[in-house]
Structure 1
Amino acid sequence: MAKFLHIADIHLGFDRYDTPERTKDFFRALQTVLERYAIEAGVDFVAIAGDLFEHRNIKPATLNQAQVCLQALKQANIPVVAIEGNHDNRPYGTRTSWLKYLSEWDLLKLLEPNDGADAQHRLTAWDERTRSGGYIDLPCGVRVIGSNWYGATASRAIELLADAISALPPGPTHTVLMFHHGLEGQIARYAGALRYSELLPLKAAGVDYLALGHIHKNYTAEGWVFNPGSLEANNVEESRYPRGAYLVDLSAEGVNAQLQTGYFQRPIVRLELVAKGQESLDELMQLAIDQAIAAAAQHQGDTAPILELRITGQVGFDRLELDTRRLQEAIKAACNALMVLIKYDVEDVAYQTPLGDGQNRIEIEQTIFEDMLTAHRDYKNRATELARGLTDLKDRQLSGADEESLYSLVETLLDLAETADEPIHQAVVPE
């Protein structure tokens, strides 16, 4: 029986959200999954099915992270076989890449077919001297075959790979093919996904285990197609999907692949606050902070969560009055969160009184003022009275009244003299 670890979409060097701590998360995920499910589990080999790196051009620190993890496997005498994905593949016409560099330094074996060759020469055996080859027969009784990143030509590449596999000399009992592409129906908005039927030539050619990558969601098909998903969620949306690493046993009884998730993953908490239109600006902000504190309290371990707060519904004030940056900072200061992401998608409370036939300009104006005031949480109870006051204010301004008298009328309307201890709301003077 052979045992191996199948991982994909590690994305070392991930640099979105502009925080070094988040970049380290992807290193922590890889390091802990290899310690727990490769070294401690005593696997025969590790298969990386594409996208070890986030970018083709990487920083020295990212290369060092890869070397640290791969060196630990080498010291444990666990070979690593890998292919390039769309994130870390070499551009057309380029002879080398960082994966090729790691392969030349004997930290992994980069398996690459000769795609321009005929079936007899498309897959050559791994050569330790040249550090190149399209497949390798491992002592554990498994033949591992590599592939390139094919993009939109994946279906045609499968046919050519199947012919090349069929042309190989007899080998070990089990055959594993690493292929960086996804199946249709797994995620929305994915153009170029493969149909399951397009994979069948590989099964007919003798592939027992198809090790996929590319889609960051765990899925399997028909007991021989496996996609572990990304080790760490690349964005908040991905946190909805199961993902991890496959610990696989190959035996005469078949394939036994178990998804493993017990390694470092940054907790991601998604919240929604639905505004009802009755809250003041300060009350809505406090509700958001309280909800975030309660959610973060459920993650009191050493790993601070990423928190996403969606504010939806209707507000009884100008929606632009809510400073999302200020709210973000307040939530982060109030709870144990690595990052706070706010999605603010609300509508102003709208009131529209039907206009009657024959209304004159003054009556129409009064109706509009009342609608505007009724939509405001602080003024709705005095909408009729204040609407008349706004009409008076407008008439005085048009007749040339001085600013001092206009502000005096505003103070009278808002009863500021009697509510000096309350927040002062700035009135809008119609022109």
Structure 2
Amino acid sequence: MPRFLHVADVHLGFDRYDSKERTKDFYLAFEDVLQKYAIEAEVDFVAIAGDLFEHRTIQPNVLNQAKLCFQMLKDHHIPVIAIEGNHDNRPYGTQTNWLKYLSQDELLILLEPERSPQGEVVYEMWNGESGGYIDLDCGVRVLGSQWYGASAPGAIERLANAIQQLPPSLGHSVMLFHHGLEGQIARYQGALRYNDLLPLKEVGIDYLALGHIHKNYSEQGWIFNPGSLEANSVEESKYDRGAYLVELTSEGIQAELKKDYYQRPFVRLKVTARGQESLEQIEEMAIAQVQSAIQSKQLKPEKMPMVELRIEGQVGFDRLELDTKKLQQQLKELSGALIFLLKYEANAVEYASPLPEDATRLQIEQEVFTDLVAAHNSYKGRSTELAQGLINLKDLQLEDRPETELYEYIQQLLE
């Protein structure tokens, strides 16, 4: 029975955190997946459903990473079939890109349906240099597509019409399509509805290999999205993701998501401030949270994980008093993290005492100063006294008293 490996969103050259080690993670994940679930599993082919690269313009070392991986497959006589995604598609009006280069170097097969002068989709068989579909020796027909963006629903109709014009396939038909289904992740504009994809099933597509959304999902036993090989952000680390090892049988499709391969561990931690803690106590809480994660083995410094710690809630001091850079560096050293992300999202405690409509100016000043002082843990116990002191300080300033006298008054007030 034919077997293949379905991967998507490899994102070689990922550089969001400006870390060479983090960029290398994406290569190591791809290499390990291919070794374990393509070469050792002896699949008939590997399908890449878009976004092999993070950028259209890539560095030489990133191109070399791709070539090493594909040469490894070529040495084991495993063909690689790919399509463009939104990250690596060629800009409008250009004739080539790095996927095309790899195809011309006979390291992969880039499937691209053509357009007729009338604007219709045309599928030509792969001829060794170009084509929109290929009939493999294992009895599987693989069809390509392009990145269509918001025009995808209309493009699907044209793709289905073109597929219907092809000679019948002698076996299963697999199609690569770099778009996402609605309802899988929040805040995703332009997602397709399930009914948008049904024309492809109606013309004989047995397995629709999706990409684009970095979260694993499947639908109705014929639509499969493996998710990205590596998490592109801390937020994505909570998603299931991996690569599908697929077997096409006469009884149906057996697709198993493989997740056991090299991945950088992610750890997410949280500290909740309640507005009663001092600046020093907040720092101690953050350190204690990391230490607790190490003791529980949730965080393993020897693995050099990606770590995020969020400080949420309310703080009873000016939030800018917390030296986040210093604390972040301290926590990074303690955790052994490759990258430590400190998200400081706490707000300063605010007080707003109710005032009567006929309040005098003095009453308003007294309440405003009292609220400001009471919001700071170090001074709230003396808020009434200090508020009156601030009013007196304002009056001294209005009397044009010398600065030395003002400083002396402040010192006596704080003492």
The question of a shared fold, defined as TM-score above 0.5 by the shorter chain, is answered with: yes
Equivalent residue for 1:137?
135
1:266 aligns with 2:264: yes
Counterparts of residues 226-245 of structure 1 (less than 5 Å): 226-245=224-243
Does residue 319 of structure 2 align to residue 319 of structure 1?
yes
Shift in alpha-carbon separation, 1:397–1:211, aligned structure 2, 3 A:
same
2:209 aligned with 1:222, yes or no? no
In structure 2, the residue matched to 1:420 is none
Deviations 1:366-422 (A, max 9, x none): 33322222211011112222233333333334334433333333333222xxxxxxx
The answer on whether the counterparts of 1:119 and 1:163 sit within 8 Å (CA) in structure 2 is no
Structure showing greater radius of gyration is 1
User: SS at the partner of 2:345?
Assistant: strand
1:165 corresponding residue in structure 2: 163
> Does the Cα contact within 8 Å between 1:293 and 1:331 map onto a contact in 2?
no
Q: Name stretches of at least 5 consecutive residues in structure 2 with no aligned partner.
A: none
- SS for the counterpart of 1:18 is coil
Deviations 1:220-261 (A, max 9, x none): 110000011111111122112211100101011100001111
Higher alpha-carbon deviation: 359-368 or 94-103: 359-368
DSSP-derived class of the 1:124 partner? coil
Q: CA deviation at 1:36?
A: 1.0
2:314 partner SS: strand
Q: 2:11·2:52 contact (CA, 8 Å) conserved in 1?
A: yes
The DSSP-based 3-state class of the residue aligned with 1:17 is coil
Select which of 146, 149, 153 maps to 1:148. 146
Equivalent positions of 1:107-146 (< 5 A) are: 107-116=107-116, 122-128=122-128, 131-146=129-144
In structure 2, the residue matched to 1:342 is: 342
Q: Which residue of 2 aligns with 1:421?
A: none
> Conserved in 2, the CA contact under 8 Å of 1:9 and 1:216?
yes
| Contact 1:119–1:164 (CA under 8 A) maintained in structure 2 | no
Aligned match of 2:16:
16
For these two proteins, the number of residue pairs brought into alignment is 413
- C-alpha deviations, 1:45-98, integer Å up to 9, x for none? 100011101111111011000001111111111111111111111122222111
Amino acid at match of 1:202: L
3-state SS of paired residue (2:170):
coil
CA contact (8 A) 1:210 1:226 kept: yes
Inter-CA distance 301–332: structure 2 relative to 1 (3 Å threshold): closer
200-209 or 380-389: bigger deviation: 380-389
- 1:98 is matched with 98
SS of the residue 2:232 aligns to: coil
CA shift at 1:20, angstroms?
Answer: 1.3
Cα distance change on mapping 1:36 and 1:387 into 2, 3 Å: same
CA contact 1:32–1:263 (8 Å) conserved in 2:
yes
User: Does the alignment pair 1:390 with 2:390?
Assistant: yes
Root mean square deviation of aligned Cα? 2.1
Letter in 2 for 1:274: T
Which residue of 2 is the match for residue 427 of structure 1? none
Shift of 1:305: 1.6
Structure 2 equivalent of residue 408 of structure 1: 408
Counterpart of 1:181 in structure 2 is: 179
Name whichever of 234-243 and 73-82 sits farther off.
Answer: 234-243
For the residue of structure 1 that corresponds to 2:86, the secondary structure is: coil
- Label 1:402 to 1:224 Cα distance change in 2 as closer, same or farther (>3 A): same
1:279 is aligned to 277
The 2-side partners of 1:380 and 1:212 are apart by 58
Paired residue type of 2:192: L
Counterpart position of 2:244: 246
Q: Percent identity?
A: 60
2:262 aligned partner, one-letter code = F
Return the TM-score normalized by structure 2. 0.94
1:295 aligns with 2:293: yes
For 1:301-341, what per-residue CA distance to the aligned partner results, in whole angstroms no more than 9, with x for missing partners?
65322122222211111122223222222211222111122
Taking a change above 3 Å as real, the CA distance of residues 299 and 314 of structure 1, as seen in their structure-2 partners, is closer
Residue 41 (structure 2) aligns with:
41
Consecutive unaligned residues of structure 1, counting only runs of 5 or more, are: 416-431
Q: TM-score, normalised by structure 1?
A: 0.90
C-alpha displacement of 1:217: 1.1
Contact 1:277-1:349 within 8 A present in 2 as well: yes
Q: Indicate if the aligned counterparts of 2:214 and 2:236 stay in contact, CA closer than 8 A.
A: yes
